[in-house]
């Protein structure tokens, strides 16, 4: 199944009005377990940073822009550069941000991550479910390393090679058909970071036993319904009334679990001095 057209249809619906845009971001953060993990790491890195100095953050592959908006909103000293290869995503995000108090702290640029300009320095780079779409991932990791200040960090969230997003199956049976690789192994991701000059600080599997169930309940099945018929928009509010409490509990349990394996990976690396 092609995931992007369904995702884009949802985004267009919620971006009609600013208040719906905010609701959309809140739903993305609640429903997608990866956001629970990413936001926790962002808080660990930015929340304990020295006060006073601005923190420059690159949202590498911003998509809808929910992480750029979240970081700028939660950390007043953060200055965020949101980059993406899709100009329509950036245009929608810019229209939303310009109507908020964050307009002076979020900038937008259209870039391919393999061709990032290397003349700007960052304290933190966030890359969420992007690298599985890029064939030449090694050059992107090298770009990240060059753009980080000494001691700066990168957070990479990605499907694992344990079947993340059902990417081991393509076509009608697969859920996401836009990936160039099914996911990363933990050792592979560490090795590519090390090769780029980035030292792994911590890494763990996500979407373990509980998170995978939550993903099916909160994401996969609703997306499949929308792919089958847009009439599902009328049914989904009722569906989520029952499914959301169950899925949120499963997400919370996954975040607190020690997953020996899982269909997702999150890795935090630091630029070597």
- Name the band, by pLDDT with cuts 50, 70 and 90, for residue 5: low
For the chain, the domain total comes to: 1
Does residue 32 register a pLDDT over 80?
Answer: yes
Residue numbers of the domain that contains 104: 3-271
* Residue 178, pLDDT score: 67
Cβ count within 10 A of residue 70 = 22
Ranking 1-5, 151-155, 226-230, 261-265 by mean pLDDT, the lowest is 1-5
| Coil vs helix vs strand at 65 | coil
How is the beta sheet containing 148-159 ordered, strand by strand?
106-110, 78-84, 55-60, 122-128, 148-159, 264-271, 198-206
Cβ count within 10 A of residue 108 = 20
* Residue 194, pLDDT score: 97
Identify the CATH number of the domain in which residue 90 sits: 3.40.50.150
Query: Per-residue pLDDT tens for 34-56?
Result: 999 999 999 999 997 666 789 99
| Coil vs helix vs strand at 116 | coil
pLDDT cut 90: percent of the chain above it? 74
Indicate the burial class of 88 (C-beta count within 10 angstroms; 0-12, 13-18, 19 or more): exposed
Tokens 């090694």 appear where? 138
* Residue 20, pLDDT score: 84
Query: Per-residue pLDDT tens for 165-212?
Result: 554 443 444 445 567 888 999 999 999 999 999 999 999 999 999 999
Cβ count within 10 A of residue 189 = 24
Query: Per-residue pLDDT tens for 124-145?
Result: 999 999 999 999 999 999 999 9
Kindly state the average pLDDT of the residues 208-237. Answer: 92
Query: Per-residue pLDDT tens for 61-71?
Result: 999 999 999 99
Cut 0.75: pTM above it: yes
* Residue 273, pLDDT score: 75
Helix, strand, coil percent content, the chain, rounded in steps of 5: 50, 20, 30
- 127 phi and psi, to 5 degrees? -130, 105
């Amino acid at each position: 199944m092609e995931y992007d057209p369904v995702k884009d249809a949802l985004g267009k619906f919620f971006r009609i009005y600013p208040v719906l845009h905010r609701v959309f971001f809140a739903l993305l953060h609640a429903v997608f377990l990866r956001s629970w993990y990413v936001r926790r790491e962002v808080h660990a890195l930015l929340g304990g940073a020295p006060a006073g100095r601005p923190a420059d953050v690159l949202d590498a592959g911003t998509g809808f822009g929910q992480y750029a908006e979240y970081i700028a909103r939660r950390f007043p000293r953060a200055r965020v550069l949101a980059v993406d290869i899709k100009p329509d995503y950036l245009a929608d995000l810019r229209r939303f941000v310009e109507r908020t108090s964050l307009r002076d702290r979020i900038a937008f640029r259209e870039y391919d991550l393999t061709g990032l300009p290397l003349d700007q320095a960052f304290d933190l780079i966030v890359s969420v479910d992007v690298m599985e779409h890029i064939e030449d991932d090694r050059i992107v990791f090298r770009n990240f390393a060059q753009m980080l200040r000494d001691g700066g960090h990168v957070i990479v969230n990605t499907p694992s090679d344990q079947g993340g997003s059902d990417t081991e199956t393509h076509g009608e049976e697969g859920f996401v058909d836009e990936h160039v690789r099914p996911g990363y192994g933990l050792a592979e991701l560490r090795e590519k970071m090390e090769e780029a000059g980035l030292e792994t600080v911590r890494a763990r599997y996500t979407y373990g036993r509980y998170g995978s169930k939550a993903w099916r309940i909160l994401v996969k099945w609703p997306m499949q319904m929308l792919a089958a018929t847009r009439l599902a928009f009328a049914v989904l509010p009722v569906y989520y009334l029952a499914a959301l409490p169950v899925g949120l509990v499963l997400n919370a349990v996954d975040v607190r679990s020690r997953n020996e394996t899982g269909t997702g990976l999150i890795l935090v690396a630091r630029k070597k001095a």
